[in-house]
Amino acid sequence: MTQNNLEQAITGAHQRLENLLQRASKPENHSNKQDSSVELLQEAIAEISISLEELHALTEELQEQNEELISTRELVEAERQRYQDLFNFAPDAYLVTNDTGIIQEANYAATQLLNVRQSYLIGKPLAVFIYQPERQKFRQMLQRLRQQGQIRGQELWMYHKDGNIDFPAEVTAVITEADSEGTNSLRWLLRDISDRYRTEQKIREQAALLDITADAIFVRDLHNQILFWNKGAENVYGWRAEEVLGKNAEQLLVRVTKETSPQLAAALKTVIEHGSWQGELCKVNKYDETIVIASRWTLMRDPAGIPKSILTVDTDITEKKQLETQLFRNQRLESLGTLASGIAHDLNNILTPMMTVAQLLPQKHLQIDENSQQMLKLLEINARRGADLVRQILSFTRNCEGKRTIVPISQLIEDVEQIIKCTFPKCIDINTTIPTDLGVVLGDSTQLHQVLMNLALNARDAMPNGGRLHISASKLFLDENYTKKHIEVKVGRYIVITVTDTGVGISPAIIDKIFDPFFTTKEVGKGTGLGLSIVIGISNNHGGFVEVSSEIEVGSKFKVYLPSSEGSIAPVVHKTQLPVGQGELILVVDDEAAITQITKTTLEIHNYRVLTAQNGIESLALYTQHKDEIKLVLMDMMMPSMAGGTAIRTLQIINPQVQIIAMSGLASAEALAQAIGNGIHGFLTKPFTANELLNSVQQILIPSAEC
């Protein structure tokens, strides 16, 4: 029963008793007076009984209500205590402030977080625990909280009591409804996010490292969809991250062929089975350029250990592979050059007597018949052809250089054009493009002529059914960026000669082998395989290099780069008459008996006296005996027992004024002078003719006689 029901019951009882009193006070007849009193008394007793019963019932109801109230109060207290325990021992810091930010309540976690007692917190402004530069941000948060009713996920740097910056906090706050006094309260949740902040900082640092690395790093799922793409990948492949995310990596980066498809399938199988794979792949960039990649794949798994993605780290090794190819090519040339040098030495020793005899016999036997003269002429011509072949073999080494003069490239191209237009099939259209101010190079005109002829002949053979042959030239400056990609190329100005044909083209499978000596795709008897090796050898000897590009059924393009030069060199004047001596004594030293014999014969026919020696030791003995008479020494550089260089230095010790002409089929005069010193007065390259021998001897002896 409620308080209202109790009041209504009491009021009703009073009303009934008041009615009885009013009836009892009214005047009545005497005869009925006694009966009326009795009736009123009975009604009063009944009314009192009813009221007592009602009161008893009301008392029982009140008792029950009191017991319920006590039970409810206990439940409320228990709930309040549970709330207080949750509030105090929650893992996050909870604070209650008034509308201005003054702390009214704080839980245990808040005291631990701020490193203060609870009593210290109460009544303090929350702002005193905010890092000074961030207090303006805190005031803005308060303003937004009052306007919006809540804020979530904001970050603030907090102070400890001692004033040190200690931790970053994630702040969440709500505003409660006004109390009976009309005051709002603010409830704050502060969560220490130091660990998360350090983790995020570490992730940012790692992300920065991923972006600054030169390697391409990307992640793709098991369906090849790209999930992550770093800055290095942008640099290597040219695609920006927003252009590739979600795209198929295989379709974007790999040109699928019969060779690449099995390789990719095997790599994927390996990474799935073993967790990693590494190897080299040919890929394409945004500009459809093929690049060589050193690729490392790592299988990534989810927390349950199930494969979810593949982390790929790609390194662009295109330049490295190009440099390796150039290095291997140079090493092959050097090895073959060593072999060729030995062969050339022997061949030159064989050819020298043949050439000299072919010249001397007509002079010694004046009555020789015409048929014999033609045979001797044929012998001389073929000996010269053999000598030219030897020089071609040596052209791809660094040991054979001709006489260097100023060579106008425009004139060189015009000469070659004139020859090939007269000799090539008419079905080949030949034309040239030559700038008027092309310039000159310092080199051997015969060798450079050979370079162009070899390239032109190859172009002709590549167009058996006709086509177009174009020779052009241009000037070009090569900077440091270009030279980094090419071994032994120097920064400077170059003249570039380009020979282009529309022939059958060169297969990618053999294009790296075409400069190897004796490599040829022509039928037996139709090519020696020396043409392109001679081209690259001569180009290298002139400080240049060669580039080639080709496409099957489209044609080939060869570019010869030669260092541009300025200045001039005086032309060499060749004497037309064979000079004769005045009886001077000459010492000829060579381990080849045929050479010493024919050299002695040639000199004696032309009025010289000759001593011969077969090696360096024998030459020293002869020179010691006749040093006052010997005017000149002809010394071969490669002999057994004592090499020519050692013998020359010993002769110079015996007589510092000794005059020497060195003979060799391998080295140039400049190279010998640098190796032995300035004691050499002349040089004869084997095989040499009688004319070259006699002119060289005269050039040394005549100035000496005049002195």
> How confident is the model over 47-56, as pLDDT tens digits?
777 777 777 7
Predicted confidence (pLDDT) at residue 204 exceeds the cutoff of 50: yes
pLDDT at 212: 76
How far apart CA 70 and CA 59 sit, in angstroms, is 16
Predicted confidence (pLDDT) at residue 706 exceeds the cutoff of 60: no
Task: Give, in order, the Cα–Cα distances in Å from 671 to each of 393, 402, 643.
Answer: 18, 11, 16
Q: How confident is residue 494, by pLDDT bands cut at 50, 70 and 90?
A: very high
How far apart CA 677 and CA 269 sit, in angstroms, is 66
Closest CA to 244 of 235, 236, 253, 257: 253
Q: How confident is residue 574, by pLDDT bands cut at 50, 70 and 90?
A: very low
How far apart CA 391 and CA 601 sit, in angstroms, is 26
pLDDT at 400: 46
pLDDT at 57: 76
Residue 446 tokens, joined? 């015969």
Instruction: Give the residue carrying structure tokens 């080639």.
Output: 548
**604-608 mean pLDDT:** 90
pLDDT at 160: 66
How far apart CA 332 and CA 318 sit, in angstroms, is 21
pLDDT digits (tens, 9 = 90+) for 64-115: 878 888 877 877 776 766 666 666 667 788 888 888 889 988 888 888 888 8
Residue 624 tokens, joined? 């010691």
For β-strands 630-636 and 609-613, DSSP reports them as unpaired
21-35, 131-145, 156-170, 645-659: range with lowest mean pLDDT: 21-35
- Amino acid at site 291: I
Range list of β-strands (E), 564-659:
585-589, 609-613, 630-636
Burial class (CB in 10 A: 0-12, 13-18, 19+), 202: exposed
Instruction: Give the residue carrying structure tokens 């030897």.
Output: 390
Task: Give, in order, the Cα–Cα distances in Å from 540 to each of 124, 341, 407, 441.
Answer: 86, 17, 16, 13
pLDDT at 64: 80
Range list of β-strands (E), 585-652:
585-589, 609-613, 630-636
pLDDT at 439: 86
Predicted confidence (pLDDT) at residue 621 exceeds the cutoff of 70: yes
pLDDT digits (tens, 9 = 90+) for 256-277: 666 677 888 889 899 999 999 9
- Dihedral over Cα of 139, 144, 147, 152: its sign: negative
119-123, 131-135, 563-567, 683-687: range with lowest mean pLDDT: 563-567
**454-478 mean pLDDT:** 90
Which residues have a Cβ under 8 Å from the Cβ of 312 and sit 6 or more positions away? 216, 217, 218, 219, 220, 249, 295, 296, 297, 298
Residue 181 tokens, joined? 């006094």
Output 402 or 205, whichever has higher pLDDT.
205
pLDDT at 566: 61
pLDDT at 396: 45
How far apart CA 602 and CA 690 sit, in angstroms, is 7
Q: How confident is residue 473, by pLDDT bands cut at 50, 70 and 90?
A: very high
Are 571 and 618 in contact by the 8 Å Cβ rule? The answer is no
pLDDT at 570: 41
How far apart CA 703 and CA 692 sit, in angstroms, is 17
Residue 27 tokens, joined? 């005047």
Q: State residue 388 phi and psi, 5-degree precision.
A: -65, -40
How far apart CA 346 and CA 687 sit, in angstroms, is 10
CA 640 and chain centroid, separation: 52
The per-residue pLDDT of the chain, averaged, comes to 80
Predicted confidence (pLDDT) at residue 573 exceeds the cutoff of 60: no
**498-521 mean pLDDT:** 78
Are 112 and 191 in contact by the 8 Å Cβ rule? The answer is no
Alpha helices in 241-394 (DSSP H): 241-244, 249-253, 260-274, 318-364, 370-394
Cis peptide before 687 (omega within 30 of 0): yes
Output 467 or 400, whichever has higher pLDDT.
467
Predicted confidence (pLDDT) at residue 568 exceeds the cutoff of 50: no
pLDDT at 482: 77
**334-363 mean pLDDT:** 72
Output 692 or 373, whichever has higher pLDDT.
692
pLDDT at 508: 82
User: What angle (nearest 5°) sits at the alpha carbon of residue 539, between those of residues 534 and 543?
Assistant: 145
pLDDT at 219: 92
| H helix or E strand, kind and range, residue 428 | strand 428-433
pLDDT at 672: 58
pLDDT at 530: 58
Question: Could you tell me the CATH superfamily of domain 405-563?
Answer: Histidine kinase-like ATPase, C-terminal domain (3.30.565.10)
362-366, 390-394, 587-591: range with lowest mean pLDDT: 390-394
Closest CA to 512 of 684, 699, 329, 682: 329
pLDDT at 542: 86
Predicted confidence (pLDDT) at residue 393 exceeds the cutoff of 80: no
How far apart CA 539 and CA 516 sit, in angstroms, is 14
Which residues have a Cβ under 8 Å from the Cβ of 391 and sit 6 or more positions away? 400
- Dihedral over Cα of 366, 372, 376, 381: its sign: positive
Task: Provide the CATH number for the domain formed by 213-316 in this structure.
Answer: 3.30.450.20
Q: What is the pTM of this model?
A: 0.41
Query: Which of 55-59, 422-426, 523-527 ranks highest by mean pLDDT?
Result: 422-426
297-308 residues labelled b (16+ CB within 10 A) or e (exposed): bebeeeeeeeee
Predicted confidence (pLDDT) at residue 614 exceeds the cutoff of 80: yes
Predicted confidence (pLDDT) at residue 571 exceeds the cutoff of 50: no
pLDDT > 70 in the chain, percent = 78
**155-170 mean pLDDT:** 75
Q: How many CB atoms lie within 10 A of CB 525?
A: 6
How far apart CA 70 and CA 521 sit, in angstroms, is 112
Predicted confidence (pLDDT) at residue 175 exceeds the cutoff of 70: yes
Alpha helices in 149-230 (DSSP H): 194-212
Predicted confidence (pLDDT) at residue 380 exceeds the cutoff of 80: no
**672-692 mean pLDDT:** 73
pLDDT at 72: 78
Q: How many CB atoms lie within 10 A of CB 528?
A: 15
Fold for domain 585-706?
A: Rossmann fold (3.40.50)
pLDDT digits (tens, 9 = 90+) for 232-257: 899 999 999 899 999 999 888 887 66
543 HSE (CA, 13 A, CB side): 15
Residue 91 tokens, joined? 């893992």
CATH class of the 90-198 domain in this structure: alpha beta
**169-182 mean pLDDT:** 79
pLDDT at 340: 67
pLDDT at 399: 44
pLDDT at 34: 58
